Amino acid sequence: MTPTPPPTSPPPAPPLAPLERVPEGAWNAADYESLAARHLAPAHRAYVAGGSGWDTTVAANRAAFGRWAVVPRLLRDVRAGHTRLSLGGQALAHPLLLAPVAFQRLAHPRGEADTARAAHAAGAGFIASTLSSLPLEAIAQAAGPARWFQLYFQPARETTLDLVRRAEAAGYTALVVTLDASIQLASRSALRAGFRMPAADGLAGNLAGYPAGAATALAEGESRIFQGAMRHAPTWDDLRWLLAQTRLPVWVKGVMHPDDAVALRAEGAAGVVVSNHGGRSLDGAPASLAVLPTVRAAVGPGYPVLFDGGVRTGHDAFKALALGADAVLVGRLQVYALAVAGAVGVAHMLTLLVEELQACMAQAGCASLADIGAHCLAAQPWPPVDTTAPSGTPIDAHDPNAPPC
Binding region for ligand FNR (CB under 6 A): 48, 61, 99-102, 129, 131, 150, 178, 253, 275, 277-278, 280, 308-311, 330-332, 335
- Give the nearest distance from C-beta 65 to ligand FNR in angstroms: 11
Query: 160 or 365, CB closer to ligand FNR?
Result: 160
- Give the nearest distance from C-beta 390 to ligand FNR in angstroms: 13
For residue 314, give the nearest of 277, 363, 280 by alpha carbon: 363
- Give the nearest distance from C-beta 146 to ligand FNR in angstroms: 16
Query: 39 or 253, CB closer to ligand FNR?
Result: 253
Catalytic residue selected from 44, 108, 120, 277:
277
- Give the nearest distance from C-beta 283 to ligand FNR in angstroms: 14
d(CA 99, CA 129): 8
Using CB positions, name the residue nearest to ligand FNR.
331
Q: Is 277 a catalytic residue?
A: yes
Pairing of strands 175-178, 147-151: parallel
- Give the nearest distance from C-beta 308 to ligand FNR in angstroms: 4
Query: 104 or 365, CB closer to ligand FNR?
Result: 104
Query: 274 or 372, CB closer to ligand FNR?
Result: 274
Query: 106 or 299, CB closer to ligand FNR?
Result: 106
- Give the nearest distance from C-beta 127 to ligand FNR in angstroms: 7
Query: 48 or 122, CB closer to ligand FNR?
Result: 48
* Residues forming the active site: 277
